[in-house]
Amino acid sequence: MEIYKANQQTASSYHQTNTLMAISTICFPILIILSICIYKKYRSAVRRKQIQILEESWKKKYETSSNP
């Protein structure tokens, strides 16, 4: 009887481990893809801000150089 209970506990433990492994296997690639997409959006936002700053500085430079 005790062996049967021990086997049930071991089987339950394996089931929990398998479930955790399955969830990890599914979630890990999704998290990687999401993080790549978020990073790309972040970099494009930073790049747009840098371009805006450069355009403003060039505009000021040409306005001051064209005025006598």
pLDDT of residue 30: 97
pLDDT above 80 (res 51): yes
Kindly tell me the burial class for residue 3, based on how many C-beta atoms sit within 10 Å of its own C-beta (0-12, 13-18, 19 or more).
Answer: exposed
Residue 24 vs residue 6, higher pLDDT? 24
- Please give the angle made by the CA atoms of 37, 32 and 41, to the nearest 5 degrees: 15
Phi first, then psi, for residue 20 (nearest 5°) are: -65, -40
Residue 15 vs residue 5, higher pLDDT? 15
pLDDT of residue 56: 94
pLDDT of residue 5: 55
pLDDT above 70 (res 1): no
State pTM to two decimals.
Answer: 0.61
